């Protein structure tokens, strides 16, 4: 992927929001219906519970509404909505319904890149701003409970529902995006897939092995484009599929896991929502200061990988 062209119009994140369904599904509740245990799930994945029962449109409306409110923007001022999801409520139109329900008057598109969807959406939104849009709402939402087989102990513990959103606004100076990378390898689709109308199927060990390599490769490309090294990164915001994948990726990148934002314990893998949920958590906890460098990185079905380096606040030094 090319580096960002000199002089390209930049953007900064001016608001964010999150949404999770009310219903909590604990490991013990799962263990009551299948041959598993809280101890097995926690030790193999880092997950204690997940939220289930959401709809992609409903969760997106809520996270999008919060992000607009924080940015202090009337919905009519948004120029485009990019909704990343691999579980649309209907075959098409989730973004359009969210646009209508939030009172926006702009183009609206669903983007599906499995768990890297939010990253593809975020990079796309920066591209729209480089081409003249002033404000773009990016939402990552998945309701994976609808495509999870709750009789399969190999997959059921991993997934949940959730949503995270950010508002991107154009700026005069340099924007926040210093480097980015988008990657895909369709030869590996078979190890992690879902038939239309079917459930998630995966070869867990093989996904694990590739996931670490994909995240590290993509992160290194983004950092090279940004002209920074891992030592410059204040916080890594990784896709939350398994705490052991996050740990292994951090080890290989050379960043302590204490400098990662981790929310998987209470959310599970929410696909397109994990990165905006982890980003919002870090921001809400005050872990990010003006000028800090953030590395956002994920992998997903396809298989896909994506990452970017952001300097929080844009041209702050």
Name the site residues for ligand ACO (rule: CB under 6 A).
Answer: 36, 40-41, 44-45, 86, 114-115, 153-154, 157, 192, 200, 202, 204-205, 207-208, 211, 241-242, 245, 269, 271, 300-301
Relative to beta strand 80-84, strand 135-143 is parallel
Length of the chain: 317
Q: Active-site residue 27, yes or no?
A: no
88 or 301: whose CB is closer to ligand ACO?
301
175 or 300: whose CB is closer to ligand ACO?
300
Q: Active-site residue 126, yes or no?
A: no
14 or 247: whose CB is closer to ligand ACO?
247
Give the nearest distance from C-beta 47 to ligand ACO in angstroms.
9
120 or 312: whose CB is closer to ligand ACO?
120
Give the nearest distance from C-beta 134 to ligand ACO in angstroms.
32
Give the nearest distance from C-beta 205 to ligand ACO in angstroms.
5
Catalytic member of 126, 225, 239, 242: 239
121 or 175: whose CB is closer to ligand ACO?
121
Give the nearest distance from C-beta 228 to ligand ACO in angstroms.
27
Give the nearest distance from C-beta 214 to ligand ACO in angstroms.
11
Catalytic member of 115, 126, 225, 308: 115
Q: Active-site residue 239, yes or no?
A: yes
In the bound state, the residue with its beta carbon closest to ligand ACO is 204
Task: Cite the active site residues.
Answer: 115, 239, 269
């Amino acid at each position: 992927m090319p580096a960002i062209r000199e002089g390209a119009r930049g953007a900064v994140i001016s608001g964010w929001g999150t949404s999770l369904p009310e219903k909590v599904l604990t490991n013990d509740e799962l263990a009551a219906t299948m041959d598993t245990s809280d101890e097995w799930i926690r030790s193999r994945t880092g997950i204690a519970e997940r939220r289930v029962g959401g709809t992609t449109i409903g969760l997106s409306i809520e996270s999008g509404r919060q992000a607009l409110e924080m940015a202090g923007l009337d919905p009519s001022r948004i120029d485009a909505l990019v909704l990343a999801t691999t579980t649309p409520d209907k075959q098409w139109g989730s973004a359009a319904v969210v646009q209508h329900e939030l009172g926006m008057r702009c183009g609206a598109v669903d983007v599906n890149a499995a768990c890297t969807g939010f990253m593809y959406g975020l990079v796309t939104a920066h591209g729209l701003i480089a081409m003249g849009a002033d404000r773009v709402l990016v939402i990552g939402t998945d309701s994976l409970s609808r495509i999870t087989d709750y009789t399969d102990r190999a997959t059921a513990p991993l997934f949940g529902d959730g949503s995270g959103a950010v508002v991107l606004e154009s700026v005069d100076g340099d924007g926040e995006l210093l480097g980015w990378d988008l990657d895909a390898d369709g030869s590996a689709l078979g190890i992690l897939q879902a038939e239309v109308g079917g459930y998630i199927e995966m070869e867990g060990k093989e996904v694990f092995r590739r996931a670490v390599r994909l995240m590290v490769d993509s992160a290194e490309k983004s950092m090279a484009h940004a002209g920074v090294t891992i030592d410059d990164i204040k916080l890594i915001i990784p896709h939350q599929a398994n705490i052991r994948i996050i740990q292994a990726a951090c080890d290989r990148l050379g960043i302590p896991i204490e400098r990662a934002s981790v929310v998987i314990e209470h959310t599970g893998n929410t696909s397109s929502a994990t990165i905006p949920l982890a980003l919002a958590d870090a921001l809400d906890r005050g872990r990010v200061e003006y000028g800090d460098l953030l590395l956002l990185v994920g992998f997903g079905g396809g298989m896909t990988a994506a990452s970017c380096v952001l300097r929080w606040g844009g041209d702050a030094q």
